[in-house]
Structure 1
């Protein structure tokens, strides 16, 4: 089981779109589930985007603030998850993010509790993808990146995107100190190739996602799926990246030793 955190740089490099693609393509064995936790302190995009506002603001990260102060986050967390499967199987779930960035100030104690929960959630056969947006990998929510198995920097392969990624990668390396593996997800939109970027930024390119606006709009805005969406180039690239991500996680855990599953914040899981 795994915790994968995604972060971005300047502009809109596609962090949430990438996170949604991973959520929908992550391989699941029988009885396993995956959760996408939208933990961007600047506010969430999934409720008004991929979910088309169908849940209003009744579910999500903001509702965990009070539960966290009362020591009940472990139970409240599961009630905030939204099933994104057509069949209602509840094996691919989303914790919607904040609908108002002003609410981030109330989440100070919650980030650490969420990090503890995610660390122990594997005993319930869950994987977690954490969407940290542009700012979430620094500041109070950075504990989510520090506890992850892999942190992915999502960037466009343009000069502007890569300059931003270079600065943020340096800050991540200082902050994480080897606690998590760091990789890159490139969203095509510039002239620079995979090998050149790996040499320059000294980070592995885990995935290259094609520039496919029609397919990306399904994940970012809940647009109608084009024909053969799941077999399209974007979803194929995301599906391929999950294989490499799982290899990176296995390598890290083999090197460090498998963390003990558990933690009181995970209580109440179902």
Structure 2
């Protein structure tokens, strides 16, 4: 199953889109909220149900002990976001000042996410948030580059309007260079189009010289629920956003299977295999 990282040039619905993809997946799925600027799902969609005792920041101390400890901590800090417990969240940072502590944790976390996708059959989505550049390259602290390097796909989230395309344009080449030099190749880069604006997918792909790998409709009511939580809107499970998100996960899976033929990936660290058993009996809480 693929690991898909979602990034943006500026706030444009990346987190709501990542939640929609995670909730709509046909398989067990995970959303890792890894925006160094801080997570919003804890206070938004989950309406404060998750305390600061859960989440990404706690993985840094575990990683300093060892990879197995990181795997155990990872499973312990997951939070169920559906009643059945098949869809889980790794809550993000509560304070951007915590981000530097995770600099050496990102590569190990990337390996855990690969194990979860390859060995446990999960769809894994990583909300990286807004990308930061320094001298034309990814910022070493404000962007968790190792998560992008390990991803099967890196989706730059854009809206179908001039403002969003203008902001996104300057990120394309730095991302291509980064993925060619350190990742799985620049062909991992694609667009996640939010159809909020006058341009069609083919026009957006042409404007940014990058393929649209997935498109989601502008569904303000459902997106609002995924952003702020509360009572689900009427017909939520059959909403346009979730229906298209389900199709998008299918498309990404098919693309990942075809792409894997050409990738020569190393085997995941065997010491992380324990994460699979931990996930089966995860002690994390549940939204239900």
- Give the TM-score of the pair, scaled to structure 1: 0.91
Runs of 4+ in 1 over 6 A off after TM superposition: none
What is the distance in 1 between the residues matched to 2:132 and 2:248?
22
Paired residues for 1:189-208 under 5 Å: 189-208=196-215
CA shift for structure 1 position 144: 0.4
- Separation (CA, whole Å) in 1 of partners of 2:104 and 2:59: 10
CA contact (8 A) 2:161 2:198 kept: yes
Alignment of 1:179-258 (within 5 A): 179-180=184-185, 181-257=188-264
Residue number in structure 1 paired with 2:154: 151
Q: Distance in 1 between matches of 2:122 and 2:213?
A: 22
Per-residue deviation, 1:109: 1.1
Instruction: Determine whether 1:53 maps to 2:52.
Output: no
Q: Does 1:173 align with 2:170?
A: no
Contact residue 31 and residue 125 of structure 2 kept, 8 A: yes
Q: Would the aligned equivalents of 2:110 and 2:150 in 1 still touch at CA under 8 Å?
A: yes
Contact residue 217 and residue 223 of structure 1 kept, 8 A: no
How far is the alpha carbon of 1:159 from its aligned partner?
1.1
**Superposition CA RMSD, Å:** 1.8
Q: How many equivalent residue pairs? A: 263
Separation (CA, whole Å) in 2 of partners of 1:224 and 1:159: 33
Shift of 1:194: 1.3
State the distance in 1 between where 2:111 and 2:232 align.
36
Give the secondary structure class of the aligned counterpart of 1:45. Answer: coil
Q: Offset at 1:239?
A: 1.2
Task: Specify whether residues 235 and 37 from structure 1 end up closer, same or farther in structure 2 by C-alpha distance, changes over 3 A only.
Answer: same
- How far off is 1:262 after superposition? 4.2
- Distance in 2 (CA, whole Å) between partners of 1:228 and 1:259 is 43
What does 1:99-114 align with in structure 2 at a 5 Å threshold? 99-114=94-109
Q: Choose the corresponding residue for 2:73, options 58, 73, 76.
A: 76
Q: Cα distance, 1:241 vs. partner?
A: 1.0
Distance in structure 1 (CA, Å) of the matches to 2:152 and 2:213 = 14
Cα pair distance change 1:144/1:266, threshold 3 Å: farther
Deviation, structure 1 residue 199: 1.5
Query: In structure 2, how many angstroms separate the alpha carbons of the residues matched to 1:269 and 1:187?
Result: 34
Task: Give distance in 1, aligned partners of 2:173 and 2:194.
Answer: 20
SS at match of 2:130: coil
Deviation at 1:259, TM superposition (A): 5.0
1:40 to 11, 35, 49: 35
Quick one: distance in 1 between partners of 2:16 and 2:8?
11
Partner Cα separation in structure 2 for residue 266 and residue 161 of structure 1? 41
1:4-48 per-residue CA deviation (whole Å, 9 max, x = no partner) reads 1110112x21111010000011111xxxx2111000000001100
Question: Which residue does 1:130 correspond to in 2?
Answer: 126
Q: The residue matched to 1:93 in structure 2 has which SS?
A: strand
Gaps of 5+ in 2: 278-288
Which 5+ residue runs of structure 1 have no aligned equivalent? Answer: none
2:125 aligns to what SS in structure 1?
strand
Partner SS state of residue 252, structure 2? helix
